[in-house]
Amino acid sequence: MKGFLVLVASLSLLFAACSSDDDGGGGSTAATGGTGGDQTDLTVSGAASLTDAFGDIGTAFEGENPGVTVTFNFGPSDGLATQINDGAPVDVFASASPTWMDSVQDDGPGVSDRADFAKNRLTIIVPTDNPAGIEDINDLTEDGIQLVIAAEGVPAGDYAREIFENAGISEAAMANVVSNAEDVRAVVTSVASGEADAGIVYVTDVTAEVADRVTQIEIPDEINAIATYPIAVVNDTQETDLAKHFVDYVLGPGQQTLADYGFLPA
Amino acid sequence: MLLVGLPLLGLIVRTPWGRIGEVLTSDTALTALRLSLVVATTAAAISFVLGFPLAWLLVRSPFPGKTFVRALVVLPLVMPPVVAGVGLLAAFGRRGIAGSWLYDWFGFQLTFTTGAAVLAASFVSFPLAVLALEAGLRGLDVRLEDAASTLGASRWYVMRRVTLPLMAPQIAAALVLSWARALGEFGATITFAGNLQGRTQTLPLAVFERLQSDQDAAFAISMLLIAIAFAVIIGLRGRFLR
């Protein structure tokens, strides 16, 4: 009997532990504060690379619109689009590539007021001590390099693969990929922690937070990919006016914030 | 019932039964299945080999700090798997306390290898093996072992021909439980081992990756995991409810 109870206890712990494995596709959620009174909530799904810039934009937007709380859902654009198409109650979607905005437009609830609000370039990052001695993109083809890029379908992952094609090093570089990260920020973490030898991320991902743990290695313009970021109001939003207001804000005052973080104008 | 039944029902309803053959025979699914079986079986074996002596000590040897040791053994069970992954990185990552030594002296890095996936799976399934084996050892009638000894059996003979056979149901439970837990491991694996088809992308990781863009495939592979889980439950039915 006692043995049976121990086994039951272990089983329930097993299921408890297993349930905490649940990691959904959406990445992190951050709610920036709002004032009391008549509260309106705006949910914005944004590509992981927008975490810092949109965080600031959200705070500023709330400042100008008392009573509004902007809740962000950051993650890989493909995962976010899939969530929206599956019915997630998102008001605004900002993607790191047109592909996933098209997906919401064609296969999902549809979008309106769509506009490109920024562009971005990619770069190679290595840990500051550069264990693999990488100096340019061709070094990524050397045997045994532990290279981490985002998974296929994630814009940063697709752009990285595009850059390898442009440089003519696809086969060798892809053979060095040791992990397909779920979003571009996970790539940053791998490199900043020193586990990976190199990663391909957006130039804007080298934020003040990680700047002292990684070194950037420039990708020549002629082979680099240019990421185009569209933003739009998701059609089944309950807050059409507010959502449009937010989109306008990103296209207006938000542009300076984006530029401050290193994004290029659309 | 609803709590457990509805998600299962939802999965069954949303699975693309028409496409399931195509998805489950795809490169991604087959590679993940093969890798998962290898990782889970190896992890279960490791958990058993390391867990049996520990269970024996916990049950049969008095030693100071036993409560502490038992708490330590159970820790991976209650720890959130991602935290377990972070812990494994802190220990065995390239900059980890043991990992940095491995890297500096042998040029060997454990992260991003299949071994890392096995280690992550072993870490989380080890407590289950120990608990099940402990229960088995406690439930033994020691007099049977004593009788064998007084009849002239060596300690090894007693272990082999009396103890282990008497414990066979609990040994089976330990193996199956730790195998099932190892199979389902996600958080520690993706954090510590990474995600690469053929090397570290086990079935749960494949589901997660598919979920981002091809939900149908994610549902199909999930059904495969559910089927395996059911097989485990049915297999264990006789052991538990004795």
Distance CA B103, CA B105 (A): 6
Contact A25 B181 (CB under 8 A): no
The type of residue at B168 is A
Tokens of A117: 């609000």
Task: State what percent of residues in chain B have pLDDT above 70.
Answer: 97
How would residue B107 be classed by pLDDT, with cut points 50, 70 and 90?
confident
Place of tokens 């390898």: A164
**Contact indicator for A64, A107 with CB cutoff of 8 Å:** no
Cross-chain residue pair A21–B94, CB shorter than 8 Å: no
Q: Which two tokens stand for residue A191?
A: 């490199």
What are the angstrom distances between the C-alpha of A233 and each of A45, A100, A120, B87? 10, 14, 21, 41
- Looking at residue B197, its pLDDT comes to 95
The pTM for the full model equals 0.85
Q: With bands split at pLDDT 50, 70 and 90, how would you rate the model's confidence at B201? A: very high
- Identify all chain B residues contacting A104, using CB atoms and an 8 Å cutoff: none
When CB atoms are compared, the residue of B79, B124, B212 closest to A78 is B212
Tell me whether residue B1 is in a domain: no
Q: How confident is the model at residue B169 (pLDDT cuts 50, 70, 90)?
A: confident
**CB atoms inside a 10 Å sphere around CB A131:** 17
- Pairing of the two strands A40-47 and A92-94: parallel
Distance CA A224, CA A209 (A): 25
Overall average pLDDT of the B11-27 stretch: 88
Which range marks the domain in which residue B131 is found?
Answer: 21-240
DSSP codes, A167-196: HT-HHHHHHTEEEEESSHHHHHHHHHTTSS
**Which value, to the nearest 10 degrees, does the dihedral of the CA atoms of residues B67, B69, B73, B75 take?**
70
Residue B238, pLDDT score: 63
Q: Tell me whether strands A92-94 and A226-234 are parallel, antiparallel or unpaired.
A: antiparallel
Does the CB of B96 have a partner CB in chain A at under 8 Å?
Answer: no
Q: Is residue B10 part of a domain?
A: no
Does some domain include residue B180?
yes
The structural domains of chain A, ordered by start, are 26-119+227-260 (3.40.190.10), 121-226 (3.40.190.10)
- pLDDT for B69: 92
Segment B25-29 mean pLDDT:
89
User: Is B143's pLDDT higher than 50?
Assistant: yes
Phi, psi of A148 (to 5 degrees): -120, 130
Pairing state between β A226-234 and A111-127 = antiparallel
Q: Do A6 and B213 touch (CB under 8 A)?
A: no
Residue B3 domain-assigned? no
Angle at B131 between CA B52 and CA B128, to 5 degrees: 90
Rounded distance, CA A45 to CA A111, Å?
A: 13
Are the Cβ atoms of B184 and A146 closer than 8 angstroms?
no
Measured between beta carbons, the chain A residues lying within 8 angstroms of B112 are 146, 178-179, 195-196
Best residue of B140, B208, B212 to probe chain A, by most A CBs closer than 10 Å: B212
In Å, how far are A23, B29, B215 from B200, measured between CA atoms? 18, 13, 21
B contact residues 20-59, partner A, Cβ 8 Å cutoff: none
Type and span of the H or E element at A147: strand A147-150
Is B9 contained in some domain? no
**What is the average pLDDT value for chain B, to the nearest integer?**
90
* A-chain residues near B93 (CB < 8 A): 193-195
Are B118 and B179 in contact by the 8 Å Cβ rule? The answer is: no
CATH number of B158's domain = 1.10.3720.10
For chain B, what is the domain count?
1
pLDDT digits (tens, 9 = 90+) for B70-92: 899 999 999 999 999 999 999 99
Which residue out of A6, A12, A19, A21 would a mutagenesis test of the B interface target, given it has the greatest number of B Cβ atoms within 10 Å? A21
Q: Which residue type does B143 have?
A: R
Is residue B226 a contact partner of residue B8, using CB atoms and an 8 Å limit? yes
- Name the token pair of A242: 């507010």
CB–CB contact B212 A17 (8 Å): no
Identify whether B7 is part of a domain. Answer: no
**Regions of chain A short of the pLDDT cut 70:** 1-38
d(C-alpha A124, C-alpha A122), whole Å: 7
Predicted confidence band of residue B233 (pLDDT cuts 50, 70, 90): confident
